[in-house]
């Protein structure tokens, strides 16, 4: 990533961090409930059998607890992010830790997760070899890679907007590149398995304060590795999709 792009992204992240720090927790919970209710009648979610859902920090983003519980209770296969040491060849562009998606067994399994230092419920590494994984870690545990695919990924973000010319939905992450690299590796996996099926749907979940409107002076800066979303669900109940998918 070039220096100017990196600086532009950091500027938006800092501004959004300050905005969200002043947001009452009651507002975050209310918006999260609106999004969860919206999902119950949202066709991509209703139709999806295998979904990935991010597990939330205690503040400053959409809370996904009820979404995870509903998905598990309704019989969906629910996969959540898991960070582990990179099995990929040494490369300065690849972080030392990468992300995979691993399956939760049921609601009780979800409730048993311990929180990490950021307060996010996290998979115990001791249980990884007994869980389905989307990519697998490579090397000695490569056989744990699940040959299934994902229908839908519900993604977090720091900020979102709509590109004025292309109408693409843009997402700004936290800057670690976990989702970008996961999606790249996932696409390679599908190609390797020669699966003739649509790519996974990518939908962002955001608080209304995280959406940068056309009137806002700031925009979401993107680079060549940043993938546009298929849609965005906001805490005011609004669903945004590109015109060609509407």
In whole angstroms, give the CA distance from residue 71 to residue 42: 13
For residue 2 the two structure tokens come to 């070039």
Q: What pLDDT is stored for residue 147 in this prediction?
A: 59
Q: pTM for this structure?
A: 0.91
- Find out whether 9 is annotated in a ligand binding site: yes
- Find out whether 176 is annotated in a ligand binding site: yes
Domains for the chain: give ranges and CATH numbers: 3-199+207-245 (3.40.50.10420)
- Find out whether 223 is annotated in a ligand binding site: no
Cα–Cα distances in Å, from 230 out to 187, 224, 233? 16, 17, 11
- Find out whether 229 is annotated in a ligand binding site: no
- Find out whether 245 is annotated in a ligand binding site: no
Least confident of 41-55, 76-90, 115-129, 224-238: 76-90
In whole angstroms, give the CA distance from residue 132 to residue 182: 16
pLDDT in tens, 40-51: 999 999 999 999
pLDDT in tens, 193-217: 665 556 799 999 999 999 998 777 6
């Amino acid at each position: 990533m070039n220096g100017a792009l990196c600086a532009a992204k950091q500027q938006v992240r800092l501004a959004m961090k300050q905005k969200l720090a002043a947001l009452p927790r009651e507002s975050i919970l209310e918006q999260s409930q609106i999004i969860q209710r919206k999902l119950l009648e949202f066709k991509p979610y209703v139709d999806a059998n295998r979904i990935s859902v991010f597990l939330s920090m205690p503040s400053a983003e959409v809370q996904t607890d009820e979404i995870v519980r509903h998905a598990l209770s309704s019989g969906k296969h629910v996969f959540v992010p898991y960070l582990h040491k990179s099995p990929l060849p040494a490369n300065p562009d690849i972080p030392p830790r990468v992300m995979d998606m691993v399956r939760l067994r049921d609601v009780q399994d979800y409730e048993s997760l311990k929180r990490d230092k950021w307060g996010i419920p996290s998979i115990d590494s001791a249980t990884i070899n007994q869980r389905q994984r989307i990519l697998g870690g490579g090397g000695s545990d490569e056989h744990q890679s699940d040959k299934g695919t994902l229908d839908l990924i519900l993604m977090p973000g720091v900020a979102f907007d709509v590109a004025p010319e292309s109408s693409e939905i843009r997402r700004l992450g936290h800057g670690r590149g976990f989702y970008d690299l996961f999606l790249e590796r996932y696409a390679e996996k599908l190609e390797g398995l020669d699966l003739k099926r649509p790519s996974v749907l990518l939908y962002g979940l955001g608080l209304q304060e995280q959406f940068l409107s056309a009137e806002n002076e700031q925009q979401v800066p993107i680079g060549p590795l940043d993938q546009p979303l298929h849609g965005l669900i906001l805490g005011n109940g609004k669903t945004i999709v590109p015109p060609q998918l509407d």
